[in-house]
Amino acid sequence: MTTITDIPAKYLVDPQLLLQDGTHLIGGTWVPAASGDTLEVRNPATQEAIARVPRGAKADVDAAVAAAAAAFPVWRDVHPSVRGQLLHRWADLCEQHAEELEVLENLENGRPRFLPGPIAPSIRYIAGLADKIQGSSLPTANLDQLALTLRDPFGPIAVIVPWNGPGWATPRRVVGPLVAGNTIVLKPAAEAPLTVLYLAKLAEEAGIPAGVINVVTGTGSEIGAPLVTHPGIKRVSFTGSTATGTRIMELAATHQIPAILELGGKSPQVVLADADLDLAIPHIVRGIVGNSGQACAAGSRVVVARELEADVVERLKAGLAKVTVGPWYEDPDMGPLMNEAQAERVLGYIAIGEQEGATLAFGGSRLTGGKYDDGAYVEPTMFTGVRPGMRIEQEEIFGPVLTVTSFDTEEEALEIANGTAYGLVSTVWTRDVGRAVHFARRIEAGLVSINTSLGSGGIGVPSGGFKASGYGRISAADSPLEWTQTKAVVFGKTYS
């Protein structure tokens, strides 16, 4: 078995030197779980245990919510420009420690490296809005009255982030609430908590007060429900599967709190007859092998004009054949799947595709032998002859599996693109601006990319979905307003 000592020294970061082993952050103190129980964090590329974190339970959630509630009045009353300055310091530290953040995520997530990441720019963009949250003046019944609105923070916010990109996901989900004056109880995925814990440590070093950011580690089944249903939690932000998001929404409804949900996707790559294939094909390949297809924004469905289908399929085969697969420190194009359960899920869908009558045109197998025996590696896979309605065309596989479906008319292309329960992101490939506008207006997705990588929104572009891909938006210029509630104030006559 490969071990951490086999990783090149220039990439070697020992999590136990960056973090206090077996502790999470509650009220400014790094503490073990109340029960003393721990969970192992394993490197997907090697299956080696690289750290231990607390196996939190309801008692830990109670402590973290209490800490967030105690910190809330102080953080709420900090001048907005000071909140912004503290968050800018956090961004600076994230930039200074970008290598450590990157390697921690590589170790716990298994994906190949792609520095520089957008962590610091994402924080800075929203931090700059701290002193720009404004209410409105309103008309009144007579001139002796004054009416206005204030934007008040909610209080402690529960933020639940996924394992497939914790370093990138966390700032995008916590900075908006923090800017608005809320405090945070953050639950990272049990499989990948280390990057989140280190981000919290850097926030401490930046001077963000104790209790403003709390991190409770553990399994979703043991701390997810106690967190979302806790009476001290005033709002929820969740990123993950649609099934779990539905359950989160049900739990939040038990005490009438709102939730922002960014959920699954089955994202189309629409290749129109006039597309520049030299531009499109490399992006489509990267879109399905990036993070081993374990992304809600993975471009898993190619919807191609019939006259281009044969050419596109051959080009995709050639592109997939060039994809290198291996552990992240070899700088491959694609790493392992997160764990055995994920590999079984992907291989199960590949079997379903064949049973449904789709043509397995490339890949389809687990990689074995040598380094591949240490992790859950499935080769890039492509199905052709995929008909609308097949399970592999409808359901989120969360792996490196691409489907190809052809169309005869542009209206049929739109029908196929919109023909799933999801609506997260999409891409249209065309040389015609008019066609691009036509599709951008009619595709049911939170983000439509034109002739660029699917989901490459940049900094400040709203992130969120339509339909079963969730609701609410993060990362946008107005995202701090999502984390405030409107209060109306009316002044009557104040003189005799």
CA 223 to chain centre: 20
> What is the spatial distance between Cα 363 and Cα 350, in angstroms, rounded to a whole number?
10
314 is catalytic: no
Name the amino acid, one letter, at 387.
R
Q: Give the CA-trace dihedral at 182, 187, 192, 193, to 10 degrees.
A: 70
- DSSP state, residue 222: I
Least Cα distance to 137 among 128, 127, 146, 129 occurs for 146
Strand pairing category for 447-450 and 425-429: parallel
354 is catalytic: no
Strand pairing category for 183-187 and 268-271: unpaired
Phi–psi pair at 132, nearest 5 degrees: -120, 15
> What is the spatial distance between Cα 317 and Cα 415, in angstroms, rounded to a whole number?
26
Q: Whose structure tokens read 């490296």?
A: 113
The answer for residues whose C-beta is within 8 angstroms of residue 315's C-beta and 6 or more apart is 277, 281
Phi–psi pair at 222, nearest 5 degrees: -95, -30
CA 288 to chain centre: 16
Helix or strand run (H / E) with residue 164: none
The residue from 296, 309, 393, 396 that is catalytic is 296
Phi–psi pair at 282, nearest 5 degrees: -60, -35
Handedness of CA 165, 168, 172, 177 (dihedral sign): positive
The residue from 262, 309, 396, 444 that is catalytic is 262
Catalytic residues, by residue number, are: 262, 296
